[in-house]
A and B are shown apart, each in its own frame.
Chain A
């Protein structure tokens, strides 16, 4: 079941927040382009506005300047058409609902309750068989994140927005969930934007890694990542992967705008 996915075009977006009497410029002149079915990772120092980008694209917030467009539809329009799936660092599950009911919530909200079969498929896809009836409090952190991702996917959205969904987990669980995210993305082809702190995670998962500057956030560099898919853990041990990680890491410390082409075959 492959979905076409929506392209994302963010042009010249700025966003300023009032916190008390102060004004904080979170984003200024921010551009982003993700092709249909593409996987883009946003990386940058803490407080550089990564999450703000995601909230703007999700239609949860509005930019003060610039435009965001997805195949001719505004983020608000996408949200109203219920074509977005989101998962945040905090899984934000409803504690009184079971695993299955939390995933079903998304279907209920978009008025497609009858597609409950998808819930079972997603539970299998994220590897939570046998925990359908468990409540969030009875799950580990990694399992809760799987529920959040399954909930984001169950409506088969055109756009998947992930805000550090594995941020609070241990390294081993993180890698495991990254593998699963890979698998799901390959199977579904949903346009995906992943916000993360981890350079290896970004390089492992994405077609393109976008490095952001400290606040006010703007794009410092874009790194095309063209390792073959499906990517496996062996990739983590290759020199190509290491040099890609180093390239992203170096540009995190540089402020000039640049585009670096990384190609596994050429190294």
Chain B
């Protein structure tokens, strides 16, 4: 039979890592050269040699702060994943709770972390509470989805065996589902590892005593470009190290299963019909309002800064200066949405175009794909300060960061989907001597549509997060900026209004993309979408 692995004898390429190494050396060389010539004395780009020297000179400072952030991330990773797996277990065991639990988990994914960091900072004080809590929240959704997916992939025949011995769903869960979920669980944990680090760093942005986050904020204020670069490189290294380590552990523990790519998992099944689709939107909102009230009630927080949904409602609609608040908040929201959408679209289109280029030009793919895969695994947000010092502090900074953030995951996912185009289909096209353009139009692009839509859906909340971080750290416009202003002015009403509005916008956008995704897949291939 035909397989993709057949290669004519006598044509052996150099191992791919040599090419990647050469490209890596080339990039570092070009970077050094550009920093020493084009950007000399501009505070925008540090040459790699200065970055290394800065690290060696202050290695004590960096290792202390790195240790601090990593420890917070580790605790967040532990608690967030435990909570996610516990909730996924409940959702698997109690089916009628599944939708509500899913709704809460999705909302945690859509929360504006920046604002949350500010609110948590008020509640927990200057310690490690905020970084740990944010870390836990950052890993929560992906692990929940992965664990539930794992529980669902348990073979039905094995479940039937348990049932045939007269045992119930608890035994089936413990004996079959838990075991079956390990590969999917590791796929989730692998994504969670860098996300936990991201959560810790963002949590430290809001005024921790120690950690890479606060170090970055200070360095940005003092325009210490070398320091910003050192932190970005350290964060990247730790994030990708954690990603690789968890991946290796997963492969070691279950070598028989191919790696699962979480980003290509389609949206949760939506029953057709407007009512059901609207239900998928309203349920999370309702559940979250209840959870919000419960949170305030359980912790008995000071109403001076802990606002209820009713406070937010009156601030927006019934207070005497509600109109002012509305125009203030929605004006900022407009800016944020405009810059985010632009970056989002640029990132997605660029990713698809690059994936096509990689498919058509294998040498380009061999040279650049390893870099793209590495960059996909790291949370781009931790490198935001670098982008800020490089691009500047204009509105386009937000767009650039969102574009970069959505670009890499989409590229890797779409390229993977294109490469999984069945060999038979390509053979048919080739047997008619079809042009590359016909290959792209008839096979590669349609094959990438599900991956593109799934990536776009996942990129919605992360793009909004990236945008608010950029606005907060750099541009001084949009929602990120009004939240930090509200925080410094103790204007907790506006802060909570901003959190609410941003979360709603993220949930609605996610929902819109999910509806578009399932409708497109249903139209493309009836009966195929889950």
What is A's interface to B at a CB cutoff of 8 Å? 16-19, 23, 51, 55, 58-62, 64, 79-82, 84-86, 88-96, 105-106, 108-110, 135, 137-138, 151, 155, 161
Q: Is the CB of A86 within 8 A of B525?
A: no
Return chain B residues, CB-CB under 8 Å to A64. Answer: 8-9
Q: Please report the total number of B residues contacting A with Cβ < 8 Å.
A: 27
Q: Is the CB of B443 within 8 A of A16?
A: no
Most buried by A among B1, B6, B431, B528: B431
Q: Is the CB of B424 within 8 A of A106?
A: no
B429 proximal to A (CB < 8 A): yes
Known contacts: A58-B431, A92-B424. The answer to whether A105 contacts B442 by CB under 8 A is yes
Q: Is the CB of A109 within 8 A of B434?
A: yes
Known contacts: A95-B528, A96-B446. The answer to whether A88 contacts B424 by CB under 8 A is yes
* Cβ 8 A contact of B432, one of A82, A94, A137: A82
CA A105 – CA B1 in complex, angstroms? 24
Q: Is the CB of B9 within 8 A of A92?
A: no
Would you give the shortest CB distance from A164 to chain B, in whole angstroms?
9
Q: Is the CB of A94 within 8 A of B2?
A: no
Return the 8 tightest CB-CB contacts between A and B, nearest first: A92-B424, A109-B432, A96-B524, A86-B431, A90-B424, A95-B525, A109-B434, A18-B9
Q: Is the CB of B525 within 8 A of A137?
A: yes
Return chain B residues, CB-CB under 8 Å to A110. Answer: 432
Known contacts: A51-B1, A135-B526. The answer to whether A86 contacts B7 by CB under 8 A is no
Q: Is the CB of A79 within 8 A of B5?
A: no
B427 proximal to A (CB < 8 A): yes
Would you give the shortest CB distance from B116 to chain A, in whole angstroms?
41
Q: Is the CB of B433 within 8 A of A92?
A: no
Would you give the shortest CB distance from A53 to chain B, in whole angstroms?
12
Q: Is the CB of B425 within 8 A of A79?
A: no
Q: Is the CB of B443 within 8 A of A94?
A: yes
Task: Other than A92-B427, A109-B429, give 5 A-B pairs with Cβ distance below 8 A.
Answer: A62-B8, A90-B422, A94-B443, A96-B524, A109-B434
Supply 20 A–B pairs (Cβ within 8 Å), ascending by A: A17-B6, A17-B7, A19-B6, A60-B427, A64-B8, A80-B433, A82-B433, A86-B427, A86-B428, A88-B2, A91-B424, A92-B424, A93-B425, A94-B425, A94-B443, A94-B446, A96-B446, A109-B442, A137-B528, A138-B527
- Report B391-439 residues with CB < 8 Å from chain A CB: 422, 424-425, 427-434, 438
Q: Is the CB of A94 within 8 A of B442?
A: yes
Q: Is the CB of A106 within 8 A of B432?
A: yes
Return chain B residues, CB-CB under 8 Å to A84. Answer: 431-432
Q: Is the CB of B525 within 8 A of A135?
A: yes
Would you give the shortest CB distance from A194 to chain B, in whole angstroms?
16
* Cβ 8 A contact of A19, one of B5, B424, B434: B5
Q: Which of chain B's residues has its CB closest to A96's CB?
A: B524
Return chain A residues, CB-CB under 8 Å to B422. Answer: 90, 92
Known contacts: A16-B9, A18-B9, A94-B446. The answer to whether A137 contacts B526 by CB under 8 A is yes
Q: Is the CB of B525 within 8 A of A96?
A: yes
Return chain B residues, CB-CB under 8 Å to A16. Answer: 9
CA A89 – CA B1 in complex, angstroms? 9
Return chain A residues, CB-CB under 8 Å to B524. Answer: 95-96
- Report B1-52 residues with CB < 8 Å from chain A CB: 1-2, 5-9
CA A96 – CA B527 in complex, angstroms? 11
Return chain B residues, CB-CB under 8 Å to A80. Answer: 433
- Report B439-456 residues with CB < 8 Å from chain A CB: 442-443, 446
Would you give the shortest CB distance from B310 to chain A, in whole angstroms?
49
Q: Is the CB of B5 within 8 A of A92?
A: no
Return chain B residues, CB-CB under 8 Å to A61. Answer: 6
Return chain B residues, CB-CB under 8 Å to A17. Answer: 6-9
Return chain B residues, CB-CB under 8 Å to A105. Answer: 442
Would you give the shortest CB distance from B414 to chain A, in whole angstroms?
16
CA A105 – CA B79 in complex, angstroms? 53
- Report B472-530 residues with CB < 8 Å from chain A CB: 524-528
Q: Which of chain B's residues has its CB closest to A167's CB?
A: B1
CA A81 – CA B432 in complex, angstroms? 8
CA A62 – CA B9 in complex, angstroms? 12
Q: Which of chain A's residues has its CB closest to B426's CB?
A: A92
Return chain A residues, CB-CB under 8 Å to B427. Answer: 55, 58, 60, 86, 88, 92
Return chain A residues, CB-CB under 8 Å to B434. Answer: 109
Return chain B residues, CB-CB under 8 Å to A91. Answer: 424
Q: Is the CB of A79 within 8 A of B525?
A: no
Contact digits for B85-105, partner A, Cβ 8 Å, 1 yes 0 no: 000000000000000000000
Q: Which of chain A's residues has its CB closest to B430's CB?
A: A60
Q: Is the CB of A155 within 8 A of B432?
A: yes
Would you give the shortest CB distance from A230 to chain B, in whole angstroms?
28
Q: Which of chain A's residues has its CB closest to B428's CB?
A: A92
CA A105 – CA B441 in complex, angstroms? 11
Q: Is the CB of A59 within 8 A of B1?
A: no
Return chain B residues, CB-CB under 8 Å to A85. Answer: 431
